[in-house]
Every structure is written in structure tokens, then in C-alpha cells.
Structure 1
Amino acid sequence: MKGCLSLKIILTGKFWIAIMVTLICTMVGTYLANLPYLNIIGSLVLALIFGMLLQVQPVDTKPIKKEIGFISNKFLRLGIILLGFKLNLTALMSSGIKTILLAMIVVTGTITGTYLLNRKFGVDKELSILAASGTGICGAAAVMGISPQIKVSSSKQAQKEEDQVLAVAIVAIMGTIFTLIEIMLKPLLHMDATQFGVVAGGSLHEIAHAVATGSTAGPVGLNIAIITKLSRVLMLAPAALIIGIWYQKSSKVNNGNGKHNKLPIPWFMGGFILASIIGSFVPMSANVLSLLVKAAYIFLGMAMAALGISVNFKVILNRGKKPILATFISSVILLTFVIIVSKLFF
């Protein structure tokens, strides 16, 4: 039934209008993300912003609401799968057990700590999970990857979409702030390039943030920052499964018969892992891998733009203060921890 509905949506003219609108937002975001200063924001967040801006322009997107929802859902999963090609498992394994262990500790501790801080401040459970995931793993991509694991009733679906946008906005703001903080702290930390690369990759939110910060320590710092950051990205699949199982068991959402839904298995995360295996061990040219990664960011950007089009950002602004404060405190603790670890063990 779902397959027939999806095919019906794709065959409509409105679907292709939605494709063009979200693709334009993505292309503009991708172009601007290559410019100085905007590169630390990243193409995904910029695509989200342009999608939101359409709500204040005289453009009527209501007729394509269903198609926009399809893009934000299906293109998200496709983008996450293709993002797996960015993970070179050989490079990650060669970086040593210390880097992988640090990633596991950072992801587990940051998600748990950020979630508990948000809940302490009275933030909704769903928003707390998404903000914590984006902070602990890999920013916007993590928010979008974890979101399908949070199953809510139809009456809460609109709020869930708002939570997604707010969580992405929070990690984008925090990541940008801490990128600038770390660059300013660099002369005071007295670290070599490897240590500073670990700090950048181990503490910052988006891959773009880690790249911008790590590059200030030269090629060595940039390479270590990317490897450390991708070690955290590798945790996305197991985190999605664990969070999905935990949320299902702890929530009161059921299937209408008083019984809980089946435990959510993130099959698209299986595709993400498979893509990383293929990209790491199957002979492929660098150009092909680069195209696949670019395609991943295009599909993810379109999903982000669709999400931006479908939410009320005025509500988001009203709900953002507490989760921003909680995430800021969590980010300070994370940065302090990674600085200490890099000094002692790297």
C-alpha cells in the first residue's frame, strides 16, 4: 500500500515542482557553503534556511505539501545511505584504537549528558533526543538520521518536524560558535597538529566545523580532525538502533490496540554501513566516490529544504532558549573533556 502511494506521488506534476523547489534551495546552499565564513555553516543548514525563507516569500507551497513531506522522508534515507561512501573504514581502523575509543566515549557521554540537561531544563523528550544526537554525533545529518527512529502519534507529527528543524538550528549555532572559540583558543592550548586535530574532530558538531578548525593546524591537523570526526559518524548506525529501541520501550506511543509497535530497525542504516564497506574495500575511482558523496549531500540538502518549507519557524524561535542553553553547557563540557584527553593520550 505504501509503495503504491509513493508511486502515485512520484507520477504527479506537483512532485516535480517540489523537486525543483528543494533542488534550487540545495544548489544555492551548496554554492554559498563554498564561500569564506559561510563554509563553517555548511550546505545542509543553508538549504534548511532557504526552505524556511520560502515561508516568508509570496510563494504558495501548500499545494505541494504532500510531495514536500515525501522528499523530506525518502530523500533523507537515500542521502544517509550514500553518505556511507564518505566513511573510509580502512583509514579509521589505521588511526588506532584510541581514536575509535574516544569516539565511542564522546558519542555516548555527549548524547546522554545533553539529553539529561535538556530534560532537566524542561525540554520535550523528542527535542532533547534530537539535539543530543546532533551534538554527540555529526550535526544535521545525525538529527535527520535519528529522527525516523522517533515514532510519534499523528497528532504530534507537526511538532516532530518543528523539533527536527530546531535541533538542526541548535547544532548549527553551537558548532559555529565553538568553531570560532577553538580557533581563538589554539595559540593558548600549546598543542601539536595531531592533538589539535583530535580536539577539532572530537568536539565539534558538523563535519564542516571540524574541517574549518582542523585546517588551521595544517595538513596533519586537518587529516586528524577528519578521521576523528568520521569515527563519530561511524557511531550513527548503532546509535540510531539503540535510541530507537530505548524510545520505543520508554514511550507511551502504541499501535492503537494497547500494544507497542514493533521495535524500529533502521534498515537504511544498514545501507549506510554497506555503502561504507563498498567505498572502503571495493576498488572504485576517487571521482566516483566523490560523486556519490556529492549526491548524498544533494539528497540530504533537498530533505532539509523540504523540512524547512513544512514547519512554522515562529514556533521554533519561541521554543529554542532552553535547548540552546542546555546544548551550550554540554558543548563546553565536551570541549574541556576532549582537550584533556588529547593532551594526555595523543
Structure 2
Amino acid sequence: MFKEKNFYISFTITFIVSLCAMYLAKLPYLKLFGHLVLALVFGMLLQIILKDNLKTIKKSTAFISNKFLRVGIILLGFKLSVDKLFSEGKITILMAFLIVLFMIILTYLLCKFFKIENDLAILASCGCGICGAAAVMGVSSQIKAKTEDSVVAVAVVAILGTVFTLIEVALKPYLNLTDAGYGTFTGASLHEIAHAVAAGGAGGRLALEASILMKLSRVLMLVVVILALAIFKKNNSKEKAPLPYFILGFIAMSFIGSYVTVLKPLSPYLVDTAYILLGMAMAALGMNVDFKVLRQKGGRVLGACFISSFILMIACYLVVKFLL
């Protein structure tokens, strides 16, 4: 693979796209979408612009969307401060577990009510329930979902995350929550890390810290969900389920980043590298999307996920308001 000319072409294109998306995501109006979603959109635009020229590199872009994703998730472990989670986030970890369990079940049932096929229902449920695009891609590689299903799920999560971020920021003056309470509310109810940061930041420093802590607690649940999927698939299929080594790597990097003192100063750079690789994977995914399928399936998934996201927002507000 690494000796093929097409691989280097794909690598260069997706690397440039990921870097552009990373820097554009820092702009005020693009922060809500985030680096990964922008990389996906740029990849889709490239497919429209270049059309047949991308067919020769399709195999190598598929390799990047799969393998680079896994390496990116492993390195993303450096973003998760295990010591801080265990010292300050005991309640948020329990809350994150309950939110993810509730949201995955609710969204999956709604998707089935809307007659959405199983793999897409799982992807949408995990994207809304855990941590947006990264969760969709992590779960997608585990269940071997179709490219178009992954794109539909990522697109829906991105749209709804942005909509509900704007709603929660607009509602802030009327929620009657403390800064920390508002931050916990946003981190618990919004899908992407970028959304939690944007909404939490609107409440000040304490709100932002609480939002990030709550959101990272939900990110940790990605480990639990993917391991559960691996066990379920192994017990219910004749086909041997792939071991999610990348999730074990994510856990290992989380502990190394938290407790190996010499590596702590390098953590921000390793997290940036993780997002570059994840952005490359998203760009490669966008370059392989089937727009016809996106149009056919997107509406029903959007409807199901909107209902579950609205219920989640109300539930999280009530929990933070009256139980915390």
C-alpha cells in the first residue's frame, strides 16, 4: 500500500484538507461545525469538483478512512485526563454512562420506528449518544458499516449538534443554572466536543471547564460501547468479530498521558496529530460518499435524531436543575 503512487496522492490531498479544516474550524462562525465535520464536507466537495479523477485513488482513500481513523482514536486518548476524571468527574462518569445508555436505546428505537436499517440506526445512535463524528467512525469500523451510512450519520449529528448548540446558548439566560451547572448541562446534552466547547464557553470559564469534563466523560463511554459491540457480534455471528485494539490503545494512551510525567508536555501536540489523522479519515470518507443514498436516507435519520436530541436536552436540564 505505502509503495503505491496513488497512496501518496491520497495522503497529500487528505492531509491538506485536514489542515485547512483544522485552521478554518478556529474561525468564529465555523467553530460550531468543528474540524472533523469541515474535513468531511471538503472531501465531499472534492468529489463533486474532481469527479472521475478520484476513481483511481479510491482504494487508497478507503485505506486512509479506515486505518488512519484508528490511529487517530488511539492518539486521542491523550486528550482524556484520567486522573482529573477520577478526582473530579465521579458524578459525571456515572451521568455519562446513563446518558449514553439512554440515548443509544432511545435513538435506536426511534430509528427503527422510522424504518431505518440496522447499521445506520446503530451509527446514528452512537453519534448522538457518545461524541459525534468520532463515535460514528469508531463504531463504523467495528461493525463494518457502509461508507454512505457513516456519512449520513456524521452529517445528521453535525447538523443537530449545531442547531442545539444555538438553542442552548440562546436559552442560557432563562435556564436559571449556575455557571458550573450550565456547563454540565451543555456537555451532557450536546453531541460533538466542538459543540460542548462552543456552548460551554458562552457561560464563562467555569462553565467551559464543566462542559469539557462532562463531554470527555461521555467520550470515555466510546470504549465501553465498542467493547460491548465486539462481544455482542462475537456471540451472535458465525463470523469472527474483530478485536477493537484501537480502543485498547485509546485507554492505554489515556493512562500514559495522565500518569507518565515526561509525556504530559507533549500531550497537546499528540492530540493535534490525532485530529489531523481523524480529519484525513473524514476527508477520505467524504471523497467516497454516495450522494444518492445520502438524499434517500438523510431525512428519516434527521427526524429520528432530532426527537431523541430534544428529549435528551430536556432530560439533562431537569437532572442538572433538580438532582445536582
How would you bin the TM-score normalised by the shorter chain?
over 0.9
- In structure 1, distance between residues paired with 2:144 and 2:46: 28
Q: Calculate the aligned-residue CA RMSD, in Å.
A: 1.3
Taking structure 2 as the reference length, the TM-score comes to: 0.97
Q: Which residue of 2 aligns with 1:195?
A: 181
- In structure 2, distance between residues paired with 1:67 and 1:299: 14
Q: Following TM superposition, by how much is the alpha carbon of 1:93 offset from its aligned partner in structure 2, in angstroms?
A: 1.2
The structure 2 residue matched to 1:293, chosen from 271, 276, 295, is 271
Q: Which amino acid is the alignment partner of residue 156 of structure 2?
A: I
- Unpaired runs of at least 5, structure 2: none
Q: Following TM superposition, by how much is the alpha carbon of 1:151 offset from its aligned partner in structure 2, in angstroms?
A: 3.7
Q: Which amino acid is the alignment partner of residue 322 of structure 2?
A: L
Question: How does 1:12-161 map onto structure 2 within 5 Å?
Answer: 12-58=4-50, 60-151=53-144, 160-161=146-147
Q: Following TM superposition, by how much is the alpha carbon of 1:287 offset from its aligned partner in structure 2, in angstroms?
A: 4.1
Q: Which amino acid is the alignment partner of residue 52 of structure 1?
A: M
The answer to whether the 8 A contact 2:89-2:213 is kept is no
- In structure 2, distance between residues paired with 1:191 and 1:30: 32
Q: Which residue of 1 aligns with 2:159?
A: 173
Q: Following TM superposition, by how much is the alpha carbon of 1:165 offset from its aligned partner in structure 2, in angstroms?
A: 0.5
Pair 1:323–1:247, CA change in 2 (3 A): farther
Q: Does 1:279 align with 2:271?
A: no
Q: Following TM superposition, by how much is the alpha carbon of 1:286 offset from its aligned partner in structure 2, in angstroms?
A: 4.9
Q: Following TM superposition, by how much is the alpha carbon of 1:52 offset from its aligned partner in structure 2, in angstroms?
A: 0.5
Q: Which amino acid is the alignment partner of residue 158 of structure 2?
A: A
Q: Which amino acid is the alignment partner of residue 273 of structure 1?
A: I
**Structure 1 counterpart SS, 2:106:** helix
- In structure 1, distance between residues paired with 2:90 and 2:277: 33
Q: Which residue of 2 aligns with 1:327?
A: 305
Identical residues among aligned pairs (%): 51
Q: Does 1:209 align with 2:202?
A: no
- In structure 2, distance between residues paired with 1:40 and 1:286: 28
Q: Following TM superposition, by how much is the alpha carbon of 1:318 offset from its aligned partner in structure 2, in angstroms?
A: 2.1
Question: How does 1:217-296 map onto structure 2 within 5 Å?
Answer: 217-247=203-233, 249=235, 260-284=238-262, 286-296=264-274
Q: Following TM superposition, by how much is the alpha carbon of 1:83 offset from its aligned partner in structure 2, in angstroms?
A: 0.4
Q: Which amino acid is the alignment partner of residue 114 of structure 2?
A: F
The answer to whether the 8 A contact 2:89-2:217 is kept is no
Q: Which amino acid is the alignment partner of residue 219 of structure 2?
A: V
The answer to whether the 8 A contact 1:114-1:330 is kept is yes
Please, which moves more after superposition, 179-188 or 336-345? 336-345
Q: Which amino acid is the alignment partner of residue 119 of structure 1?
A: K
Q: Which amino acid is the alignment partner of residue 150 of structure 1?
A: I
Q: Does 1:182 align with 2:174?
A: no
The answer to whether the 8 A contact 1:85-1:276 is kept is yes
- In structure 1, distance between residues paired with 2:216 and 2:2: 34
- In structure 2, distance between residues paired with 1:75 and 1:96: 30
For each residue in 1:24-79, what CA deviation from the matched residue of structure 2 results, as whole angstroms up to 9, or x when unmatched? 11111111100011001000000000101112113511111111111011101000
The answer to whether the 8 A contact 1:29-1:46 is kept is yes
The answer to whether the 8 A contact 1:241-1:264 is kept is no
For each residue in 1:125-157, what CA deviation from the matched residue of structure 2 results, as whole angstroms up to 9, or x when unmatched? 0000000001000000000111122146xxxxx
Q: How many residue pairs are counted as aligned between the two chains?
A: 323
Q: Following TM superposition, by how much is the alpha carbon of 1:317 offset from its aligned partner in structure 2, in angstroms?
A: 1.8
- Unpaired runs of at least 5, structure 1: 1-8, 153-159, 255-259
**Structure 2 counterpart SS, 1:123:** coil
Q: Which amino acid is the alignment partner of residue 228 of structure 2?
A: I
Q: Following TM superposition, by how much is the alpha carbon of 1:309 offset from its aligned partner in structure 2, in angstroms?
A: 0.4
The answer to whether the 8 A contact 2:42-2:286 is kept is yes
